[in-house]
Amino acid sequence: MATNENYTIADTVDITDVVCPVTFVKAKVAIEELELGEVLSVHLNDGEPLLNVPRSLKEEGHQILALNDNEDGTYDLIVKKNA
Amino acid sequence: MTITVAGNKKEYEEGLTVAELIKVEDVENPLYVTVTINDDFIKSDTFETTVLQEGDAVEFLYFMGGGC
Amino acid sequence: MAFTDEQLERYSRHIILKEVGVKGQKKLMAGKVLIIGAGGLGAPAAMYLAAAGVGTIGIADADVVDLSNLQRQVIHTTDDLGKPKVQSAAETMKAINPDVNVVTYEDFIAANNIADIIKDYDFVLDGTDNFPAKFLINDACVQAGIPFCHAGIIRFRGQLMTWVPGEGPCYRCVFKEPPPKDAVPTCKQAGVIGAMAGVIGCLQAMEAVKFLTGAGELLTGKLLTYDALTNTIRTVNIPEDPDCAVCSDHPTITELIDYEQAACDGLSKDDVAEAAAE
């Protein structure tokens, strides 16, 4: 498990190899496997996934803790399961 | 008096019975219709004697046997 | 049970829904639904439930596909004429979704076989076309405690209701006994718009989906009626009959009954041809 001063990542999911809507579906499947309060790291591409996936996770009631720019066209979205 | 029949408010004469309402409304297959007033079943042998009251809500429930 | 990438994509529109999600899709995939009648109502219900990934779908019907079926029974095609309906329906369901386990019963349901057929299922859809069958399905499901959805269609109208143990009236609370033979027309005699079978059959599939996933409210204690000519959809409250012959705490019907079919419901193709010639 990767750690950080603010959170402990319980699981990671890579959605850079799929397109909408499977991007969000894969992230949603991964977060549903977690316990309440656990944190998921989502590896995603810039562009459409970056626009839609964080918003959809927020709409489901989850909390976005951070968005880390990997500076290679991908990001790591850190989400806490709240719902 | 005002009665709601199948969701529609309508004016009827005082003293109207369920049997008379079935005639007035030209209910299909009147011998085999199920009637509720204010969400209670009315037994078919009391249609002649059940007098409707102001504000009653009446529903006619019909047999529908198709599906094939 | 983890989803394959193909399943994630196939069921993505379900999984995205807050009311379904991963858990709901897994419930659908573990679900067992029996459809009695592979006709107008059963056709769309079977197709949508197969597409939804319902794990096991049973389908019961003794008829073969007839030309007059194709106006509404969209699970069968012209190439299926003469084929047993359950076989044709199973082929279509498997073509839509190979993941689904289809169980066929090429038989008319009757008092001596229904209890054995329904016992393995979570939910039953009544897609039959006659009152003896509708009363039999009600009585058998109530006695076995198996939830089911009743529906009927005729001309431009249709209706449906759902029964779940302890959650409201059964079909017999509302309609005590089958009407006398030929007293109430069936769709064979009176006609029906094909799309009406589609609308009401889809609503039955929706009841099965809501039951399996736990999403929303079922049509328990309610009769949904649809009149296409007046664009009227109503949900009418139906009370429980405390003296119901089947579902009350002092039932008077404790054995299953084979009521006599209306004369016209038993017509063969030859009879129809003969009648048309007269």
pLDDT at A2: 53
Asked if A29 has any chain C CB less than 8 Å from its own CB, the reply is yes
Query: Read out DSSP for C85-133?
Result: HHHHHHHHHHHH-TTSEEEEE-S---TTTHHHHHTT-SEEEE--SSHHH
Peptide bond preceding C251: is omega within 30 degrees of 0, i.e. cis?
Answer: no
For residue range A43-54, list pLDDT tens digits in order: 999 999 999 999
For residue range C237-277, list pLDDT tens digits in order: 999 999 999 999 999 999 999 998 765 554 444 444 444 44
Residue B33 lies in a domain: yes
Query: Which pair of structure tokens corresponds to residue C167?
Result: 């959650």
Pairwise CB contact (< 8 Å): C15 & A33: no
Pairwise CB contact (< 8 Å): C8 & A24: no
Strands, sheet with A63-69, edge to edge from the N-terminal-most edge strand: A9-14, A39-45, A74-80, A63-69
Closest CA–CA distance from residue B34 to any residue of chain C (Å): 7
Residue B12 CA to residue B18 CA, distance in Å, equals 12
Q: Contact C166/C249 with Cβ under 8 angstroms?
A: no
List the CATH code of the domain at C31-277.
Answer: 3.40.50.720
In this structure, what are the phi and psi dihedrals at residue C161, rounded to the nearest 5 degrees? -150, 160
Residue B67 lies in a domain: no
Identify which has the larger pLDDT, B45 or C275: B45
pLDDT at C225: 98
Would you say residue A4 has pLDDT above 50? yes
Catalytic-role residue among C187, C202, C244, C264: C187
Pairwise CB contact (< 8 Å): A25 & C16: yes
Q: Which residues in A lie closer than 8 A to residue C22 (C-beta atoms)?
A: 28-29, 32-33
Q: Where does chain A show beta strands of DSSP type E?
A: 9-14, 39-45, 63-69, 74-80
Mutate to test the interface with C, among A15, A28, A33 (most CBs of C within 10 A): A28
| Residue ranges in chain C whose pLDDT is less than 50 | 266-278
Mean pLDDT value of segment B27-54:
95
pLDDT at C59: 98
pLDDT at C266: 46
Domain count, chain B: 1
pLDDT band at B67; cut points 50, 70, 90: confident
The structural domains of chain A, ordered by start, are 9-80 (3.30.110.40)
| Number of other CB atoms surrounding residue C73 within 10 Å | 28
Q: Which residues in A lie closer than 8 A to residue C13 (C-beta atoms)?
A: 21
A17 to chain C: closest CA residue: C5
Chains touching chain B through at least 3 C-beta pairs below 8 angstroms are C
Pairwise CB contact (< 8 Å): C159 & B64: yes
In this structure, what are the phi and psi dihedrals at residue C62, rounded to the nearest 5 degrees? -100, -5
Would you say residue A27 has pLDDT above 80? yes
Nearest by Cα to C202 from C134, C125, C128, C93: C125
Total CB pairs under 8 A between chain A and C: 29
Query: Read out DSSP for C230-246?
Result: TTEEEEEE----TT-TT
Domain spans, chain C: 31-277
The percentage of residues in chain A with a pLDDT greater than 70, rounded to a whole number, is 94
Residue C91 CA to residue C88 CA, distance in Å, equals 5
Which residues, numbered 4 to 63 in chain B, qualify as contacts with chain C under a Cβ-Cβ cut-off of 8 Å?
Answer: 6-7, 29, 31-32, 34, 36, 39-41, 59, 61-63
Residue B66 lies in a domain: no
pLDDT at C188: 74
What is the CATH number for B50? Answer: 3.10.20.30
Residue C132 CA to residue C126 CA, distance in Å, equals 12
Pairwise CB contact (< 8 Å): B64 & C174: no
Mean pLDDT value of segment B44-62:
97
Query: Read out DSSP for C7-40?
Result: HHHHTHHHHTSTTTHHHHHHHHHH-EEEEE-SST
Classify C159 as helix, strand or coil: strand
pLDDT at A6: 76
pLDDT at C276: 44
pLDDT at C181: 83
Asked if A19 has any chain C CB less than 8 Å from its own CB, the reply is no
